[in-house]
Amino acid sequence: MNFNNLEKIGQKELDRQGKYKRRIFCCTSTACLSAGAGQVHTSLDQSVEACRCDEHEAEVVKTGCMGLCSSGPLVRVEEKEKDPILYGNITSELAQQLVSRHVPIGEIDDELEEGDQDLSVTPHDMLHYRASLKKAGKKSDLDKNIISLDHPFFSKQVKVVLNETGIVNPDKLEDYLAHGGYQALAHVLENMTPEEVCDEILESELRGRGGAGFPTGMKWNFVRKEGAEDKFVIVNGDEGDPGAYMDRTVMEDDPHRVLEGMIICAYAVGASAGYLYIRGEYPIAINRIRKAIRDARRRKILGKSVLGTDFMFNADVRIGAGAFVCGEETALIHSVEGKRGMPRMRPPYPSTSGLWEAPTVINNVETMANVPSIINNGADWYASIGTEKSKGTKVFALAGHLRNTGLIEVPMGITLREIVYEIGGGIPENRGFKAAQTGGPSGGCIPEEYLDSPVDYESLNKLGSIMGSGGLVIIDDTTKMPDFANYFMEFCVDESCGKCLPCRVGTVQIGKLLDKLIAGDGSQEDIEQLENLCETVKTTSLCGLGQSAPNPVLSTLKYFRNEYDELVQQAQTADSGLN
Amino acid sequence: MVELTIDGKKIQTNPGTTVLEAALANNIDIPRLCHHPELSVSGGCRLCIVNVDGYSNPTPSCGLTCQDGMAIETQNEELLKSRREIIDLFISEHPLDCVTCDKSGTCLLQKYAYEFDITKTSHEFEISKPIYQDDNPFFIRDHQYCILCGRCVRVCDEVVGAKAIDFAGRGFECHIATPFDDPLKDSTCVFCGNCIQVCPTAALTPVSRMGKGREWELDRLKTICGYCGVGCQIEYALKDGKIIYAQSTPDAPVNGEFLCTKGRFGWDFATAPERLTSPMLRRDVAYELGLTSENWELPQKSPLAVRKPKVEDSHIPIDWDTALDLAARKLSENVKEYGPDSIMGLASARCTNEENYIFQKFFRLGIGTNNLDHCARL
């Protein structure tokens, strides 16, 4: 065991960070980057430089998602002995003002130094901002951008998976170590047998976060008990639900946590190689995970001798080519093998015959990211969060008609009402709530009367929806449900792989019926046919994609049947008008 | 042995058998399209679904391994409804051209549409793959009839090993294609035509067969392929005594259902005018024997230099008895006069092992020489 070295590196990084009087965190997750966080980060960096202050006055840190993506780019300032301040909607210019507000300005000569002209921010600008700040009596435009951290959006959340996102620099292994990273792995390798690890996970009652909710500990035990020489671990990062980006965020903002979970899993099941399957549309996640793997290899966290023990594990990245169906485990395995990503019949399940017919654990990114916390804090701690059958927390990508949208982590069992009206801040422009759509194209719509039902696997299933990977779209009363269902059906038509008939042709025919109804040419018989067809596709499709493809239609037919009936009535009145 | 019940019938079977195999072995028929006994399991057509006690959804029996104590139901109202709906969906993208279709009578989709009494789809009809490819002289790929069972892909991969075709495109646009949809001749295709053999519909049809007659009008003739010593069994389909296509049958002892490109497509010699149908005797020898009135002179030039010699000019047809008598006489004369080693035997690889054995026996014992060779001796 040579974890002491790593601990020392972490301590050194912690000491280094402690020397700074203030640290300015700039979110560089995809959502904020697309809102301009790249320029903001450069601007922050240059502004601090332009202040000409002592080097330990301030440090600009590239970090991960802070949650409130709708207000991106987000910047958080943490000063010693002061409460942190979160700023939203920061532009490059606001970034300069922000620095001038928080960072003291050192000696600045009247004459600019050589090279200063080339900078977008000069020390003179900083002086100027400081002067205008004084003039305004410390009141500044920036005050409007401050987001209260006491807001329910933050206070209602419980962070396990997202514990370090927004705090650590995802590109720095040292930063992760400074925040207690790889301690769980060290503990597992030193003090636990593989069996104990599996039992610990089993006791924590962690369930797969990919959507189906299979007990993770049980899955690991299946693979552990297999006698095969080669075993594999696959982390499923092929997140494809429209509007969902939980796994992307975890991979982008805390790649080492995913890696740590994966190595612990490999130790527990006896695997010596693993793959992280990441969809090609996530270039930042791919780069950061790759860097994390390189760094981990350099520090002997991966390789022939993990942390100096006999345990060997290597990880590699496989990039998806943009097929939704590759999130299905058997299709994913085919894709990793270099074949066309098409699902196959189960059994045999991957735990007996998976990648190259070897026993394989496939877990979602979020599931793996839960593992280090469970090891560090114990199974009992984890099992104390959540409901009776669904333990722990769940990350949701909150989207749709809400005041606050973004990434949230909530304990299982929280009600939809809390999510919508407290965390989400309610529906804007005082419009009414219509439905909450969970689980993306495989999920269903939950109407207002069930807003108080708890969010856990069983309750959502009972309502005709699924937990899914964590997409949560809130719809207000301006949306027509048949249109909404049609959108998801179009998605499934595009993403069907073509292997089994009900999904390949059935989804197309469901789409045609919906089009017909929406165009006002439908009849009651069409609705009945739609229901029948949905039932056939649901019961006879080969994989999860097809089996759940009719869910948006079935759940809207169940709860918003009146809207479909209205479409038919409109069609009939239009007909009689013509006659 | 594994014991399970299928439709209330107690069945014992070997471990590893699928429910479909067990059912078929016990005369319980389950409809199926993508399943083929010689190929791996696909599970894509969803027609062979059965109810298993304890399973929430119906499961395809083709990929379900028999387990002790399993209780299977292959027929009930719900299953029939699902199967009917599946056939209905199949024909919502498959033109019902059965009245003119060459496959009519042996088409599996037609068979099941008939069994489920479906005359037209209850859905909106749309052809998903209006592609017609006649890029090779052997067979036509008419994708509108393709039901994407994937049998051709599997036979190409698992039996032939050519891997020339695979699924391309997604969902409704999914079709069977060569890499980059290039013509078949530019792919790794060896034109063995085993894909035609396993195709359940008219998506793959031999060119020679197009428009030549209905399946039930054809005579069948089983024979052994003469191309090599393997001895594959071929079944020729004949119309008015002429071969219109060749195929194999599952009961063929050597080759099962599969043939190579020569066996499947190389049969046009059968009716070629150049084909020899009786023994021929050189005309000058026949003249000496008094079998013909016209003499003929062996050309001075090499036979290779003579352009297209006509066999009727140089030879006359004789019956087998005369031919054999003559050969026996000439051989024994030569052995007597010049000794057994003056004669050499050359055997053909197109003969069977048994024929080659008898041939060498005849030479070693009958003639008494070891001067023997074979065209496959490399």
Give the three-class secondary structure for A25. Answer: strand
- Among the candidates A453, A477, A501, a domain finishes at A477
Residue A178: the pLDDT is 93
CB contact under 8 A, A502 and B46: yes
Mutate to test the interface with B, among A349, A509, A513, A541 (most CBs of B within 10 A): A509
- Among the candidates A443, A477, A511, a domain finishes at A477
Same domain, A121 and A193: no
Residue A577: the pLDDT is 64
For residues A219 and A363, the answer to whether their CB atoms sit within 8 Å is yes
Same domain, A226 and A374: yes
DSSP A124: H
Residue A10: inside a domain:
no
Same domain, A337 and A403: no
Same domain, A351 and A410: no
Structural tokens at position A200: 């610990």
Same domain, A346 and A201: yes
Q: What is the mean pLDDT of chain A?
A: 90
Same domain, A263 and A369: yes
For residues B24 and B32, the answer to whether their CB atoms sit within 8 Å is no
Same domain, A132 and A186: no
- Walk me through the domains of chain B, giving residue ranges and CATH numbers: 2-75 (3.10.20.740), 97-210 (3.30.70.20), 218-274 (2.20.25.90), 276-338 (no CATH), 342-378 (no CATH)
Residue appearing with tokens 């696909």:
B42
Same domain, A407 and A358: no
Mutate to test the interface with A, among B34, B50, B85, B116 (most CBs of A within 10 A): B85
What H or E segment, with its residue span, contains residue A544?
helix A544-548
Question: What's the whole-number mean pLDDT along residues A144-171?
Answer: 89
pLDDT in tens, A548-576: 999 999 999 999 999 999 999 988 887 77
Residues 6+ apart with CB under 8 A from A298: none
Same domain, A273 and A237: yes
Structural tokens at position A79: 């000063």
- Nearest-angstrom CA–CA distance, B277 and B325: 18
Nearest to B43 among A345, A505, A512 (CB): A345
- Nearest-angstrom CA–CA distance, A10 and A49: 26
Q: Which bin fits A457, alpha (ψ -120 to 50), beta or left (φ > 0)?
A: alpha
A138-142, A218-222, A448-452: least confidently modelled range: A138-142
Nearest to B46 among A323, A342, A501 (CB): A501
Nearest to B123 among A340, A501, A509 (CB): A509
CATH of residue A550's domain is 1.20.1440.230
Residue A167: inside a domain:
no
A chain contacts of residue B86, beta-carbon cutoff 8 Å: 501-502, 536, 540
Same domain, A134 and A216: no
Residue A293: inside a domain:
yes
Residue A2: inside a domain:
no
Residue A14: inside a domain:
no
- Among the candidates A380, A403, A435, a domain finishes at A380
A94-108, A524-538, B201-215, B313-327: least confidently modelled range: A94-108
Same domain, A336 and A213: yes
- Nearest-angstrom CA–CA distance, A26 and A73: 8
pLDDT in tens, B23-71: 999 999 999 999 999 999 999 999 999 999 988 889 999 999 999 999 9
Length of chain A: 579
Residue A304: inside a domain:
yes
Global pTM reads: 0.89
CATH of residue A188's domain is 3.40.50.11540
pLDDT in tens, A329-351: 999 999 999 999 999 998 889 99
Same domain, A488 and A470: no
Residue A502 pLDDT greater than 60, yes or no: yes
Q: What is the ipTM of this complex?
A: 0.86
Residue A42: inside a domain:
yes
Residue A233 pLDDT greater than 90, yes or no: yes
Q: Which domain holds residue A573?
A: 482-578
Mutate to test the interface with A, among B18, B46, B83 (most CBs of A within 10 A): B46
Residue A519: inside a domain:
yes
Number of domains making up chain A: 4
For residues A402 and A428, the answer to whether their CB atoms sit within 8 Å is yes
CATH of residue A449's domain is 3.10.20.600
